[in-house]
Structure 1
């Protein structure tokens, strides 16, 4: 007959399910804090007492529901049993942060002794347990259940002075610390930072959890730290105080943020916000591809940290972002360790980045979190508590869904913001509003609207709109916008596109008329020259022509430019500019309705365009008589440093006698596609403004570094008017402090931005005068 046998349990089991699994002091404290909040605590206090006479201790006090005598016997002392896991812990259905049944052995990781004081609201006495963990280590042949644990009762909680006495809850007094000397200030601050990351950063007021660290030894050091922080205008990093996870709220308006969630309708809803500016919102059905994530409460926030955002983070947190961590996993309100830690690649981001460095984001560039809810049927945390999740099917789908969100994030960050090298140091959204970047955003929205699986719920109508008709991206953008309007049935946008297309047709017609007029002028000159050649056969005409040629040579002596064909190119350009304005005026004068509408803002725009045309004609004429390069079209691709030197040393000097122009330009080549006439006008505006400010000298300096050309323009004039509030207002259209048009600096800024560059008032200003900085990337 078969005999029934039973396991015997060695006292060494304590180590197997205790210290051998929980190998980190911080993780041990995490487990104890999570148990407190699982017990409905609203506040947890962690107090460190470092006293030689009584020994070092750690107190963990909560105001939760507490344990009665029966709970201690049937639950706490029942090794590896978890009432949470069995579903018998509470009468209501809920999820728990911890449910392995081994969290109680976290205390063994921290200290050799443990005293538990516990009370429920219905109890009149305090239930106390005294445990010496070393009793379990004396003889491994002794059975676990044979090791005594002392139980007593008390009428009141025994607490250090200053700690609150709660109506109910648990007090853990961990004594005879195993690594007492290791708990220095750096480790305590490290614990505080880790506890910040433990909490759900998006918890509401109803679910907010208060954790406070107290350590008398560090109070004076905290006071000194606060004083230092005030002097350096940064956040103090103290040991004592409440734990708050606010870094994501601090960064939200300073970074590119993607927020994604799975809705009750089983759809993945994605919202993208760039430095406080809403970009788009989409959704797609995921019920077939991620069935195990339905009703999981999936939510993620991903923030891209450019240089400016990293500086903000370091100032706020006192540690570089890469040392803080990357993408954390929050399950049932608490973080799953060590996912997101520096060096941890749970999500596989760094492996992806190694494949395509410039197309994928890595863990060092982003910060964020993933939130989920659920029990052990889907998401199971490793018993060792430092290995993340066990790879169930739900865990696999979780990673795949997160990577899907990352790809959407990269479509904006890698394909748009990274392409603008100057944007890396910007804390605001301004550069993304440039037409050169707006066209990329428009193309992204167009791509999303074309997808069969994705529905565009909303987008930024200020960004996804008609570009400036002077922009080179204007015409191609209309096709992109038309596709967006058709795909999402946006009638308002369709009407705007129709008007823009009509305006484009008129503009093209006017341009064709202008070219036609210029060509006719050219043919007339060629015909006249043919006649002159025939007449030149006669002696008298030849002599007369010779005298005329001498005069013409004198006129061009200073420029070393006697090539008639080159001169014709400049004349052709002048006629083209003039003909454009002529056609615009003809269109207005020929229609009484249009003429009557030329009032107010319309009249101002017309006059501004005419003024710009006149300045172009003047600038072109200067090139025609002085410039030493070919002007075959309005746009050229040349070395910009050489162009600056040619213009400033040969043209600007000739036409500006009341100011000395100095150049200190980089010798290295910087090829750029630009309009030389407009760039000449930009330089002339700076020189003109300096003369108005009574400057005697103006210096143009350029430095080429890492593919970025930085140009500094500095004068020794009267400087910026101190009465101006908001220095950047000087770039606004119509803003002036002189008798000027208020268009000069506005024109300069728009033309520099059309090259993908930026124009700003320099951070470092001269003692006398004013300095501007232009930055252009290849």
Structure 2
């Protein structure tokens, strides 16, 4: 007696609904079948989308099938035809492997009508499939589930050959957005096949050709390029720098690969270094605008990044884009000199013939982990490290050139040390008063804090070079002027806020899982923010000059208050804020609440300008985030009575949450939740205002009131004498 296996009918549902997890994968399985049948054109149509009875129609001009093919191939589960016929007629490796791709039809819909004509034959065969039969049957074996006999029509009404699949009672609701996403996915899937003769048209758009045209134009103009080739024993790497030698240069490869289990492969990488803050005036952005078009570049790199693994010309989804299969982003957290997934676009090409051990899992959604695949991962990371090292060297050379052009020595560490020394010398010119002691105290304490923060940032977020030079440079200048100028303080405090948010992000990430795409998108935004702060250095330097003049004035007058026309101070502040309010609908109004309109008092002018600038910048940031359609304004009210100077700065912005209000004057405390993209405020601005008041006006006060919209900051400076106008 012998016993054999039988297959339960519901196993067939597994092949369609569970083994194929997404609609895109299902569509691609059917595209694979058509291409393996020597089709050169595949037309996918979504008919009646938005109606009660939508349909998916997939037509190809492949070899088609006759009755014998249907019985012995189509109706045979796990047919070995593709394992026997390993090449298409054009000599390319077939894409199908397991002989179950036809069950993708059941993933897409409950009913299928197949129309096929064999090449060089006249018979048209129509056949219907009801996939629900496998679920709603009393039969004990899948082989006992029968379908109606094929209908043979003679002669073929058209001279065309191939297969047409009409899928009804769809399992998913397709929208216009879904169809557009499918076009993008198919374009990416077949990107490495786009130079062949295969055309996949979805609706009226050729998904393969339109993507290929964009991709080729962008990649041809990449400033940095890498080509690597592994022949099974030896690895060669060449790198091209358009902004450097403009020729392919061989690289030293340090690695032993002669006994590798991985077969031959090819690897290409394209890198697009951006200008600071993506400012149009930088030479990088000018290059992209002239060669590619910045909008076109953004469109491409938004969806195409990371190492894309292609096997025999088709993307091995999901290896690439959002899936960090090489752990690059995790490595970049540990060392910012490495490349993260969004720093480049790469294509890694393997073949089934030369890499037979690199295999799909049964669900077609991943690769079996084995020694061959793990060695492929390692070699790919090694190659990327070679490119990252070269990019670091080129970037460092550019920064040294920039430093020398700005009058520095070219030694970045030396330039930073000299900057700090200069600032300390500047502070020493202040007479030996509590003000000098206060300035030195601020310099020492904030410098220490910044250095600690920079150390943490280097370990936790994206770009060490920007952090080292951007934050340190901005901080070193900002520290000396921060208690006098909100302009400078803003850059420092913006970076501190970014640090705190970055630390929160990294503490919340589960490093055992792929890092979510939105986390890295936010990380890029934070790096851009730091770079933009660095870009403001020229503007900050003007304030350092102003600081020097005020120090000299203070020294000449023994740091005594002098006569100041209040509206002159306000004018200076408004002029400085113009770069923040232009191209917005924010207005600044000003009133005198008590005293003459041309109010003149005896005070240190820099104190008034510092207070007004810091408070107004807070208000501007708040108003920029107002979503309601209302007039956005800042009101400055100044008055004088009984030797007291009153300053009120009111805005109708988004305000400060009640739970945050008690700590808004504390250092490094925020007036909002750092995860709230619509929030505003910085960790030091109001602290600086409070310190200016407490150090120079011991009996002075600052309080906050909260109208229906926004915040009202109320300041009282005592013992300020009014001067007759």
TM-score by length of 1: 0.48
The answer on 1:337 being equivalent to 2:328 is: no
Any conservation in 2 of the 1:113–1:174 contact (CA below 8 Å)? yes
User: Deviation of residue 29 (structure 1)?
Assistant: 0.4
Write the distance in 2 (CA, Å) between the matches of 1:114 and 1:317: 41
Deviations 1:255-303, CA, capped at 9 Å, x for gaps: 4533323265954332323457636422659783463444x34233243
User: Deviation of residue 8 (structure 1)?
Assistant: 1.6
The equivalent of 2:260 in structure 1 is 291
Please, which of 168, 174, 185 is the counterpart of residue 183 of structure 1?
A: 174
Deviations 1:647-679, CA, capped at 9 Å, x for gaps: xxxxxxxxxxxxxxxxx9966799xxxxxxxxx
The equivalent of 1:259 in structure 2 is 226
Structure 1 vs Structure 2 CA RMSD: 4.6
User: Deviation of residue 116 (structure 1)?
Assistant: 1.7
The equivalent of 2:166 in structure 1 is 173
Equivalent residues in 2 for 1:1-20, closer than 5 Å = 3-20=1-18
Cα gap change, 1:369 to 1:91, in 2 (>3 Å): closer
User: Deviation of residue 51 (structure 1)?
Assistant: 6.4
Any conservation in 2 of the 1:331–1:371 contact (CA below 8 Å)? yes
Deviations 1:574-605, CA, capped at 9 Å, x for gaps: xxxxxxxxxxxxxxxxxxxxxxxxxxxxxxxx
Could you say what secondary structure the match of 1:67 adopts? coil
Equivalent residues in 2 for 1:307-326, closer than 5 Å = 308=278, 315-316=295-296, 321=301, 326=306
The equivalent of 1:132 in structure 2 is 130
User: Deviation of residue 66 (structure 1)?
Assistant: 2.0
Please, which of 342, 345, 348 is the counterpart of residue 364 of structure 1?
A: 342
Any conservation in 2 of the 1:267–1:285 contact (CA below 8 Å)? no
Deviations 1:367-392, CA, capped at 9 Å, x for gaps: 22211112472221122122x21123
Any conservation in 1 of the 2:118–2:162 contact (CA below 8 Å)? yes
Write the distance in 1 (CA, Å) between the matches of 2:123 and 2:52: 26
Equivalent residues in 2 for 1:315-714, closer than 5 Å = 315-316=295-296, 321=301, 326-342=306-322, 344-356=323-335, 358-375=336-353, 377-386=356-365, 388-417=366-395, 419=396, 436=401, 706-711=533-538
Cα gap change, 1:253 to 1:174, in 2 (>3 Å): same
User: Deviation of residue 73 (structure 1)?
Assistant: 1.4
Any conservation in 2 of the 1:61–1:170 contact (CA below 8 Å)? yes
Cα gap change, 1:353 to 1:101, in 2 (>3 Å): same
Write the distance in 2 (CA, Å) between the matches of 1:285 and 1:94: 34
Write the distance in 2 (CA, Å) between the matches of 1:192 and 1:317: 19
The equivalent of 1:63 in structure 2 is 61
Write the distance in 1 (CA, Å) between the matches of 2:392 and 2:7: 57
User: Deviation of residue 708 (structure 1)?
Assistant: 4.2
Deviations 1:683-724, CA, capped at 9 Å, x for gaps: xxxxxxxxxxxxxxxxxxxx99734454369xxxxxxxxxxx
Aligned length: 429
Could you say what secondary structure the match of 1:269 adopts? strand
Deviations 1:395-420, CA, capped at 9 Å, x for gaps: 22221121011101211234543x5x
The equivalent of 1:272 in structure 2 is 239
Could you say what secondary structure the match of 1:116 adopts? strand
Deviations 1:309-336, CA, capped at 9 Å, x for gaps: 8998983388684555532211111111
Please, which of 201, 221, 238 is the counterpart of residue 212 of structure 1?
A: 201
Cα gap change, 1:75 to 1:253, in 2 (>3 Å): closer
Deviations 1:70-106, CA, capped at 9 Å, x for gaps: 2221111111223112347768975222211121100
Any conservation in 2 of the 1:268–1:285 contact (CA below 8 Å)? no
Any conservation in 1 of the 2:339–2:385 contact (CA below 8 Å)? no
Equivalent residues in 2 for 1:213-228, closer than 5 Å = 213-214=202-203
User: Deviation of residue 304 (structure 1)?
Assistant: 4.3
Write the distance in 2 (CA, Å) between the matches of 1:360 and 1:119: 54
Deviations 1:473-492, CA, capped at 9 Å, x for gaps: 79xxxxxxxxxxxxxxxxxx
Runs of at least 5 residues in structure 1 that lack an aligned partner in the other structure? 159-164, 216-237, 420-431, 439-466, 475-559, 561-637, 645-663, 671-702, 714-761, 766-778
User: Deviation of residue 242 (structure 1)?
Assistant: 5.5
Write the distance in 1 (CA, Å) between the matches of 2:108 and 2:480: 71
Runs of at least 5 residues in structure 2 that lack an aligned partner in the other structure? 279-284, 412-428, 430-474, 492-529, 541-578, 583-725
Could you say what secondary structure the match of 1:244 adopts? helix
Write the distance in 2 (CA, Å) between the matches of 1:210 and 1:704: 43
Cα gap change, 1:247 to 1:71, in 2 (>3 Å): same
Cα gap change, 1:208 to 1:268, in 2 (>3 Å): farther
User: Deviation of residue 54 (structure 1)?
Assistant: 8.6
The equivalent of 1:116 in structure 2 is 114
Deviations 1:190-209, CA, capped at 9 Å, x for gaps: 111111110134x474x242
Write the distance in 1 (CA, Å) between the matches of 2:224 and 2:119: 45
User: Deviation of residue 210 (structure 1)?
Assistant: 1.1
Any conservation in 2 of the 1:379–1:394 contact (CA below 8 Å)? yes
Write the distance in 2 (CA, Å) between the matches of 1:210 and 1:17: 27
Write the distance in 1 (CA, Å) between the matches of 2:339 and 2:95: 31
The equivalent of 1:632 in structure 2 is none
User: Deviation of residue 57 (structure 1)?
Assistant: 1.0
Write the distance in 2 (CA, Å) between the matches of 1:669 and 1:187: 43
Equivalent residues in 2 for 1:47-86, closer than 5 Å = 47-50=45-48, 55-86=53-84
Deviations 1:204-241, CA, capped at 9 Å, x for gaps: 74x242111117xxxxxxxxxxxxxxxxxxxxxx8999
User: Deviation of residue 124 (structure 1)?
Assistant: 1.4
Could you say what secondary structure the match of 1:19 adopts? helix
Write the distance in 2 (CA, Å) between the matches of 1:175 and 1:669: 60
User: Deviation of residue 184 (structure 1)?
Assistant: 0.9
My pick for the range that moved more, 125-134 or 48-57, is 48-57
Cα gap change, 1:373 to 1:132, in 2 (>3 Å): same
Cα gap change, 1:123 to 1:249, in 2 (>3 Å): same
Deviations 1:716-735, CA, capped at 9 Å, x for gaps: xxxxxxxxxxxxxxxxxxxx
User: Deviation of residue 67 (structure 1)?
Assistant: 2.2
Cα gap change, 1:252 to 1:143, in 2 (>3 Å): same
Cα gap change, 1:139 to 1:152, in 2 (>3 Å): same
Any conservation in 2 of the 1:112–1:174 contact (CA below 8 Å)? yes
The equivalent of 1:576 in structure 2 is none
Cα gap change, 1:643 to 1:265, in 2 (>3 Å): same
Any conservation in 1 of the 2:267–2:346 contact (CA below 8 Å)? no
Any conservation in 1 of the 2:36–2:88 contact (CA below 8 Å)? no
User: Deviation of residue 21 (structure 1)?
Assistant: 0.6
Select the structure of larger CA radius of gyration.
Answer: 1
The answer on 1:300 being equivalent to 2:242 is: no
Write the distance in 1 (CA, Å) between the matches of 2:532 and 2:5: 73
Write the distance in 1 (CA, Å) between the matches of 2:34 and 2:67: 18
Could you say what secondary structure the match of 2:249 adopts? strand
Any conservation in 2 of the 1:197–1:335 contact (CA below 8 Å)? yes
User: Deviation of residue 65 (structure 1)?
Assistant: 1.9
TM-score by length of 2: 0.51
The answer on 1:32 being equivalent to 2:30 is: yes
